[in-house]
Structure 1
Amino acid sequence: MNAYIVSVLVPLVFTLILRNSKKEKKRGLPVVVGGEPGYAIRNLRFTTPVTTAWEGISTLAELFEQACKQHPNRPLLGTRKLISRETEVSPDGRSFEKLHLGEYGWLTYRKTFEAVCNFASGLAQLGHKRGERAAIYADTREEWFIALQGCFRRNVSVVTIYSSLGEEALCHSLNETEVTTVICGSKELKKLVDISGQLDTVERIICMDDEIPSNLSLVDRSRIWNITSMAEVEKLGRENSIEPDLPLASDIAVIMYTSGSTGLPKGVMMTHANVLATVSAVMTIVPGLGNKDVYLAYLPLAHILELAAENVIAAVGSAIGYGTPLTLTDTSNKIKKGTKGDATALSPTVMTAVPAILDRVRDGVRKKVDAKGGLSKQLFDLAYSRRLSAVNGSWFGAWGLEKLLWNFLVFRKIRAILGGRIRFILSGGAPLSGDTQRFINICLGAPIGQGYGLTETCAGGTFSEFDDTTVGRVGAPLPCSFVKLIDWPEGGYLTTDSPKPRGEIVIGGPNVTLGYFKNEAKTRDVYKVDKRGMRWFYTGDIGQFHADGCLEIIDRKKDIVKLQHGEYVSLGKVESALFVSPYVENIMIHADPFHSYCVALVVVSHPALEEWASKKGISFTDYAELCEKEETVKEVYSSLVKAAKEARLEKFEIPAKIKLLPDPWTPESGLVTAALKLKRDVIRRAFSEELSKLYS
């Protein structure tokens, strides 16, 4: 009888489960918003956009104060002690700095709140007046977070600036916002000293480090600015405490400067309500986020993705341990051999990552597996294939006890790379390849939430939910956002396309920012308010909706591409700079978001190339042969690099590899227009093989 029941029930259960696994979960819902062309998608679980997840909380300052009162004795900010700096010399004679770092030391929520309040009072005592702006210009660290929250308690708008920003962009950002106080590290202070004569409004510097840089004498300190250490500011505030001047939801919290991909950077104005909307929405997506979680922070806090993430973590009572990309793992470049990387020392449960970091983990694992070979490689390949089958829905994959066995035998050591306790990874800033996403899912045993958003939407747009195992998509709308597509006929993308509607991605909701600082023309171009008062941001990205309401990014409207590390490359800008090379008759820069560098197709100038070959005594039968010679490629590439440096291009803007083409691009060939403008899509298709080889 029991055997009979089993024989009936088991197939029935399998059938029901298989049907359920194939059933598409609805993650978004079509709704008409604003009466404009197309339809918007919202998150199925919310009828109206989420503005706050906490009753009575409307600003980031209130949110932080509430968290500190709820979790006073829990650890909040953690930093590793620097034991020593050492210099190692490689076999080829190059020297590298290596760090010996100790364990994490922690500030509790109570101690952090005290530091924040003291800093806020000290800032006022230094003479920073209401209405003046402060800039934070430093790498990610606990002092960055304290300074940010301290400024919020004085209702000071914070200008965030990447520590890697060039001199011209740095001057522009500080002068345009009329910053009077700059909060920075000693490394950044050295840069500020070099451009001190170009800064119009800066009056005081607060240095996060106690040591003032050696290139700044006492005479310079008094002549240029009032320079104070952060410890001194906190001491001043502790001895002269004043009441906070808390902001309203509509007040500007942050003016965040972009990386300046199209020339000088633009400052995006974010209110407290804008950022709080994204923070609140993320709270609804990541399950069980709470005071038992530990977050590894190493991405730039000057980027909205990291700033929003750390505010989420602090809001729920979790701990934030600070690290750097160069000290992340035991084998990172700046970690002394035999000592722990940040992830090993911290054992985080949650982290944010950019695709480049995840690609590095994947490549590192694969290299180690291939190097070992033999039985170890066979076990890994078998375990991976079994788990891949299971993730893809096959009942012949590794489930139950077999899954536990493979985790113990194979994947346990891999998970130890990031501390062994990771339960969720948020990936953003650039597209994540499906191969890497699946590899990390299996090897780390943790889901990856891939999100899509922009600085202009406070990183809010879409986010893949915890149980979404698909790859290549960026999820359904966050609960704070509406997302819709609008036709772009010029590119051939229409919302009526079948089977999936396609078009330019437009995001609306309380997370959409006010616009660009002192740039009304650009603001009007990309921010629109509809008849219902909904504010929309036109992203310039092209996407398509899946049947379950999830979004996939498929193209970009403009010729600006974000590389794997998150840097933007303006193709036209780079082409114009390199066009001055005498060897260039025409050029097209190609940037692939799944790589960290760009490449170039170069149509050579026959006269210039022939003259060079003659001087070098190089013989050739035709230009095709000459273009294939190694010395020719080196000569042209050297000329391009020279032109790039003269134009002050960033390193990532300079093509890493080039392909020389002997035949001109003409309107007759269909590769350029009658006005000789590049037809990028046509050229990409025509030279797809050459481009693939450049990335191989």
Structure 2
Amino acid sequence: MKLKEDLSPILLLLFHLMVWIYTFITFLPSYIFSWLSGPDAGHHGSEVERAKRAKSRSVLGRPEGPYRAVSATKRFASSLHPGVNTLDKMFEYAARRFPHRDCLGTREVISEEDERQSDGKVFKKVVLGEYYWLSYAEILTAASQLGSGLASLGQRPKTNVAIFCETRAEWLIAAQACFMHNFPMVTLYSTLGGPAIAQGLNETQVTHIFTSRELLETRLKDILDEVPRLQHVIVVDNTATSWPGRPPGISVHNMSAVQELGARPENAAREQEQPLPSDIAVIMYTSGSTGKPKGVMISHSNIIASITGMAERIPNLCEEDTYVGYLPLAHVLELSAELVCVSHGCRIGYSSPQTLADQSSKIKGGSKGDTSVLQPTLMAAVPEIMDRIYKNVITKVEEMNCVQRTLFILAYNYKLEQLSKGYSTPLCDKLVFRKVRSLLGGRTRVLLSGGAPLSAATQRFMNVCFCCPVGQGYGLTETCGAGSISELWDYSTGRVGGPLVCCEMKLKDWVEGGYRSTDKPNPRGEILIGGPNVTMGYYKSEANKEEDFFVDENGQRWFCTGDIGEFHQDGCLKIIDRKKDLVKLQAGEYVSLGKVEAMLKNCSLVDNICAYANSEETYVIGFVVPNQKQLLALADQYGIRGSRLELCNSKAVEELVLKLITEAAIEAKLERFEIPRKVRLSPDPWTPETGLVTDAFKLKRKELKTHYQGDIERMYGGK
């Protein structure tokens, strides 16, 4: 999508003259270099040429598939390195190859203070220092000692250990300890509510749990009486481990104390049971976007296959790379990404969404965010975070003076044109986009988006302004995060690439939704993923297991995703719908709520939106989190005064927002019946802490419906 602006003719002429001279000077050497170096030297052809290049093909030649990556052999890739078939062997391999290289890094907290805002709210602000690092050899020793310490506290192989903790170095150390001693690890999101935490702990019958001091005091402490089997709480922080009124039978330990226990000669010499590839490595509880969380059983071989497939799509991945870890490690995207990095000797510096950039909410003004200090080369993100970055930069562009704005837009459109032809723009990158690129540290070479569809506008923007390819990935917890990732030289939007080398995909007709593999011009249907990365099913839930998983006549395991996709002629997959997001209106029209939301999130006024429809009604409604700056500007334009809360509750503002959303929907070519007729504005953002979105910022439709029940009745005329 190109930016539009009234441009000064003189500036336009000067800019085009400069570009013409630059292009003329650099074209011949660039062409000669590309010709001498071959097709893989950086120029991958125009968008049209790239679209013709096959990414996957139907193995049997049928439109429904199964589709397999063109780079895959007859047998699936299921191991990164020879003989490395379990996660303990993977880390030991990395520690042997890169013993003294930095592995996990944590920033020092210099100071912490409360800062009162103009609206009376108090935010905690921090000043952070440099990263301090533990090497691969040090992490291996720490994990080994921790595992031996757990064993001395009564933990036995093939019995579950829980981890309920924020993303940090201690999380991965605890995970490696469990992998080495064959303790299946139960992962729980740090934002889950009390009942969901208790359900997961009781269902898996854990006796030992890792947690942080903060989560122990704010979440876990209140439900300990509801988890009778729990005996040992290991606190990852180096703080006091007792409190008044602690339940009888519960022992609380510091993680460092458990490591010291494991380092004692009599415990260190204890024989440990090494896992088999088929043993459970992780029981990962889903975020519960469509109901109560389910525990997905993931084996060592599942994860090894998954990270093998992912690594193949990241060019030149090596020990020189730095990854920033800030998404929830209890989510399969972050865990897989970090294990990919560890398997190749990269270093991982830890962060959080609140400290990621200089402008992040917890960073004290004038001090540096984590990416400025770490300068990562690799980063994973969910679309919600990328959308925020996109809208913030666009707002800053709109605030520029006429000359700056004109130059930015000219450079943006010029680079967009060059990317479509397959060429780089080093001059624009250095002169125009350097400041935007510095928001993520300035060295990012690969951005991977997953967890939900990324809008075309945001993807184009990130490709242009951050001067690095943005790969869209598709996978689920049930497929160990693996499915497909777009090739990094493929700048087309809205597609998620071909299947990874660890799996294959096929389409299943969904007649009710009107999707068939015989559809023209492209086959469509429910996406099924098969291969060694498909997990073992749901923990203690045979009914769901039989419904969602099956084994075919060749013995291959498959998962029915519930997502609707279409395969393009070049073997690229596009996600076009979701079975559970489809609602049939009273007049018989089918509305895809996810499609409506994806289109309307491109509206600059919308930070987040949830579309809702009732089958007994004739129209769609929506709940909207408006962008604060845009909302204030809109209200000011019409002379409406008030706080954010007052503006969101104003009927006049609601109607103005609805008018702009309707215009955006028409521009996005939504059908008349898909456009929300009424909206409710939310003064507060939806965060995982509110319980209205998951840790990956997916909408929790059931919780949102309950939260806005009164508004739903009002917008549907009291029905």
TM-score range, shorter chain: 0.7 to 0.9
1:175-574 to 2 correspondence within 5 Å?
175-190=202-217, 191-212=219-240, 217=243, 220=246, 223-239=248-264, 240-241=267-268, 242-393=270-421, 403-559=425-581
Distance change (3 Å), C-alpha of 1:531 and 1:410: same
CA distance in 1, matches of 2:134, 2:272: 22
Q: TM-score, normalised by structure 2?
A: 0.77
Partner in structure 2 of residue 622 of structure 1: none
Corresponding residue to 2:175 among 145, 148, 153:
148
Question: Deviations for 1:8-29, whole angstroms, at most 9, x for unmatched residues?
Answer: x99xx9xx97798366110101
Look up the equivalent residue of 2:184 and give its one-letter code: S
Distance change (3 Å), C-alpha of 1:435 and 1:105: same
Distance change (3 Å), C-alpha of 1:37 and 1:267: farther
What is the CA-CA distance between 1:200 and the residue it aligns to?
2.7
Distance change (3 Å), C-alpha of 1:38 and 1:372: closer
Is 2:64 the counterpart of 1:38? yes
What is the CA-CA distance between 1:393 and the residue it aligns to?
2.2
Q: Give the SS at the match of 2:472.
A: strand
Distance change (3 Å), C-alpha of 1:520 and 1:288: same
CA distance in 1, matches of 2:262, 2:401: 61
Distance change (3 Å), C-alpha of 1:98 and 1:38: same
Q: Decide whether the 8 Å contact of 1:473 with 1:552 is kept in 2.
A: yes
Give identity over the alignment, percent: 43
CA distance in 1, matches of 2:344, 2:651: 61
Partner in structure 2 of residue 654 of structure 1: 704
Q: Give the SS at the match of 1:558.
A: helix
Q: Give the SS at the match of 2:355.
A: coil
Question: Deviations for 1:156-203, whole angstroms, at most 9, x for unmatched residues?
Answer: 000000000011111111100111111010122122110111113111
Q: Decide whether the 8 Å contact of 2:321 with 2:377 is kept in 1.
A: yes
Q: Decide whether the 8 Å contact of 2:496 with 2:574 is kept in 1.
A: yes
Distance change (3 Å), C-alpha of 1:359 and 1:23: closer
Look up the equivalent residue of 1:483 and give its one-letter code: M
1:18-29 to 2 correspondence within 5 Å?
21=49, 24-29=52-57
CA distance in 2, matches of 1:195, 1:224: 14
Q: Give the SS at the match of 1:159.
A: strand
Distance change (3 Å), C-alpha of 1:224 and 1:377: farther
Distance change (3 Å), C-alpha of 1:232 and 1:501: same
CA distance in 2, matches of 1:22, 1:175: 51
What is the CA-CA distance between 1:243 and the residue it aligns to?
3.8
What is the CA-CA distance between 1:505 and the residue it aligns to?
0.3
Cα RMSD for the two superposed structures = 3.3
Q: Give the SS at the match of 1:259.
A: coil
Q: Give the SS at the match of 2:246.
A: helix
Q: Give the SS at the match of 1:490.
A: coil
What is the CA-CA distance between 1:280 and the residue it aligns to?
0.8
Distance change (3 Å), C-alpha of 1:468 and 1:650: closer
Q: Decide whether the 8 Å contact of 2:578 with 2:592 is kept in 1.
A: no
Partner in structure 2 of residue 678 of structure 1: none
Question: Deviations for 1:519-578, whole angstroms, at most 9, x for unmatched residues?
Answer: 001100010111100111001110000001110000111238xxxxxxxxxx99xx9xxx
Question: Deviations for 1:573-618, whole angstroms, at most 9, x for unmatched residues?
Answer: xx9xxxxxxxxxxxx99552556341446899xxxxxxxxxxxxxx
Look up the equivalent residue of 1:511 and give its one-letter code: N
Is 2:179 the counterpart of 1:167? no
Q: Decide whether the 8 Å contact of 2:577 with 2:592 is kept in 1.
A: no
Q: Decide whether the 8 Å contact of 1:205 with 1:226 is kept in 2.
A: yes
CA distance in 2, matches of 1:601, 1:28: 37
Distance change (3 Å), C-alpha of 1:128 and 1:556: same
CA distance in 2, matches of 1:77, 1:62: 18
Structure 1 unaligned residues grouped into runs of 5+: 1-5, 561-570, 576-587, 605-627, 642-647, 666-696
Distance change (3 Å), C-alpha of 1:101 and 1:288: same
Question: Deviations for 1:207-235, whole angstroms, at most 9, x for unmatched residues?
Answer: 0012247xx625516x2411101010111
Structure 2 unaligned residues grouped into runs of 5+: 1-27, 36-43, 586-590, 602-606, 618-649, 656-677, 684-689, 694-699
Corresponding residue to 1:127 among 129, 135, 154:
154
Q: Decide whether the 8 Å contact of 1:589 with 1:601 is kept in 2.
A: no
Is 2:95 the counterpart of 1:68? yes
Q: TM-score, normalised by structure 1?
A: 0.80
Question: Deviations for 1:630-681, whole angstroms, at most 9, x for unmatched residues?
Answer: 6999xx999x99xxxxxx974764369868657799xxxxxxxxxxxxxxxx
What is the CA-CA distance between 1:405 and the residue it aligns to?
2.0
CA distance in 1, matches of 2:92, 2:415: 44
What is the CA-CA distance between 1:306 and the residue it aligns to?
0.7
CA distance in 2, matches of 1:92, 1:662: 34
Look up the equivalent residue of 2:119 and give its one-letter code: D
Distance change (3 Å), C-alpha of 1:590 and 1:509: closer
CA distance in 2, matches of 1:265, 1:206: 24
CA distance in 1, matches of 2:476, 2:46: 38
CA distance in 2, matches of 1:20, 1:471: 13
CA distance in 1, matches of 2:717, 2:119: 42
CA distance in 1, matches of 2:167, 2:348: 12
Look up the equivalent residue of 1:462 and give its one-letter code: S
Look up the equivalent residue of 1:144 and give its one-letter code: W
CA distance in 2, matches of 1:161, 1:23: 41
Distance change (3 Å), C-alpha of 1:601 and 1:277: closer
Q: Decide whether the 8 Å contact of 1:181 with 1:205 is kept in 2.
A: yes
Is 2:129 the counterpart of 1:102? yes
Q: Decide whether the 8 Å contact of 1:130 with 1:156 is kept in 2.
A: yes
Q: Decide whether the 8 Å contact of 2:46 with 2:420 is kept in 1.
A: no
Look up the equivalent residue of 1:114 and give its one-letter code: T
Q: Decide whether the 8 Å contact of 2:478 with 2:537 is kept in 1.
A: yes
Q: Which has the larger radius of gyration?
A: 1
CA distance in 1, matches of 2:226, 2:235: 20
Q: Judge which range, 513-522 or 43-52, deviates more.
A: 43-52
Look up the equivalent residue of 1:444 and give its one-letter code: F
